[in-house]
Structure 1
C-alpha cells in the first residue's frame, strides 16, 4: 500500500504541480551519498529513520487515503464471511428438508387437515428449538491453577479463569451500578 507521501507525490506529478527534475532536486540532500561502511548497525538504522526530509502532504490526499482505509476496514474479515456463508448454507439445507417433509405430510390422505397442520407445526417447532449452549465453567485461580497459562488439567469445554481480585472488582462494579441506578430514580 502506498504511503501518504507517495500518494502526495503521485498526485502532484499527475496534476503537473511538480516536475521530475524538481523532485530529484528536492530529494538530494547532504545525507544522500552518506558512507555507512564500518558503522554499527544500530547507528545506521537510527540514521535511516531520522535522516529523511519531511514532505508536506495535502489535505485532499490525506482524506483520500483515509477513505480508502475506511473502505478496507469496512469489509468483513474473510473467516467471518466464510462462517456466515456456512451457517446460511446449513439453514437452507434444513429448510429444504423441512419443506420436503411438510409436502409429504400435506399429501398424506389418511390424515385430517387438523392433524396435518399439527404435525407440520410440531415439526417446525422442533426445528426452531436451539440446542442449549454449554455453560462456561468457572475455574478459580488458586492451588494447582494459581499461575497456570493455558487450559487447566481436567477442564473440558468453555472455561473462565477467575481470582479474588476479579471477584472483588465485579462486586464493586455491581454495587456502583446499583448506586447510580438508585440516584437516577430519586431525581
Structure 2
C-alpha cells in the first residue's frame, strides 16, 4: 500500500528531498543525527525529570518551505474528502440514477423496435420517458394537525386531512413555528 510508504512529516519529506537531490549522503544524515541526545540514558533519573525532558528537550530538524507546502496540500486533499455518510449517500444516488437510465434504455429500445410508430412519435415518446424520469418530485409538505376537541383522541387519520400530517398539541405547534421563524431569521442574517 502507498500509505505505508507515505512521508508523514515535513521533516521526513525534507530529508528524502535532500537525499534525492544529493545535497546530503546517507553517511552525512547519520552523522548529522549524532548529538548530545543520541544516547539518551534515563537510568537513575527521577520520573518527573524524564517526563519533562521528553516534552521540552527535542531537536528541531531543518524543514524546507516546499516540504511544508506539500504537507499542507496533502492535508487539504484529505480534508476535502466527503464524510463517509455523505459519500455513501452520493453513491446510492448515482446507483439509483444508473438503474433509472438502464430502465429508460430498455424502454427506448422497445419503442425503437416498434414498427407501427413513426419516427416523430418514437422521438416524442422517448423524450416523454426521459422527462418523466429526470423530473424532480417536490417534497410533500407535512400538515400539522392540532389535537383539539374532535381530534384529541383520534387514532387514525383526522377528517379533512390529505397527504402527510403530524399530530401536535397547541404548545408543540407554537414551538415549531418559533423554530421555523428562527431558522428564517438566520438565513436572512439577523442580529443573533
Pairing 1:25–2:31 present: no
The DSSP-based 3-state class of the residue aligned with 1:24 is coil
Aligned counterpart, 1:65:
71
> Could you report, residue by residue, the CA deviation over 1:111-144 in whole angstroms, capped at 9, with x for unpaired residues?
4556544433332332122233365899xxxxxx
Aligned counterpart, 1:16:
24
Question: 2: CA distance between counterparts of 1:16 and 1:175?
Answer: 57
Aligned counterpart, 1:95:
101
Q: Does the aligned pair in 2 maintain the 1:5–1:57 contact within 8 Å? A: yes
Moved over 6 A (4+): 161-166
Question: In angstroms, what is the RMSD of aligned CA positions?
Answer: 4.5
Match of 2:112 among 101, 106, 110: 106
Question: 1: CA distance between counterparts of 2:46 and 2:180?
Answer: 54
Q: Following TM superposition, by how much is the alpha carbon of 1:107 offset from its aligned partner in structure 2, in angstroms?
A: 3.4
Pairing 1:34–2:42 present: yes
Q: Following TM superposition, by how much is the alpha carbon of 1:168 offset from its aligned partner in structure 2, in angstroms?
A: 5.9
Q: Does the aligned pair in 2 maintain the 1:102–1:120 contact within 8 Å? A: yes
Q: Does the aligned pair in 2 maintain the 1:4–1:65 contact within 8 Å? A: yes
Question: 2: CA distance between counterparts of 1:99 and 1:172?
Answer: 45
Pairing 1:129–2:139 present: no
Aligned counterpart, 1:150:
none
Which consecutive residues of structure 1, in runs of 5 or more, have no partner in the other structure? 139-153, 156-160, 178-187
Question: 2: CA distance between counterparts of 1:137 and 1:55?
Answer: 65
The DSSP-based 3-state class of the residue aligned with 1:25 is coil
- Please report the TM-score for the alignment, with normalisation by the length of structure 1: 0.53
- Please report the TM-score for the alignment, with normalisation by the length of structure 2: 0.52
User: For residues 129 and 28 of structure 1, do their structure 2 counterparts lie closer, same or farther at Cα, with a shift above 3 Å needed?
Assistant: same
User: For residues 80 and 25 of structure 1, do their structure 2 counterparts lie closer, same or farther at Cα, with a shift above 3 Å needed?
Assistant: same
Q: Following TM superposition, by how much is the alpha carbon of 1:33 offset from its aligned partner in structure 2, in angstroms?
A: 1.9
Which consecutive residues of structure 2, in runs of 5 or more, have no partner in the other structure? 1-6, 145-166, 169-174
User: For residues 13 and 24 of structure 1, do their structure 2 counterparts lie closer, same or farther at Cα, with a shift above 3 Å needed?
Assistant: farther
User: For residues 7 and 36 of structure 1, do their structure 2 counterparts lie closer, same or farther at Cα, with a shift above 3 Å needed?
Assistant: farther
Q: How many residues align?
A: 153
Pairing 1:119–2:125 present: yes
Q: Following TM superposition, by how much is the alpha carbon of 1:52 offset from its aligned partner in structure 2, in angstroms?
A: 1.3
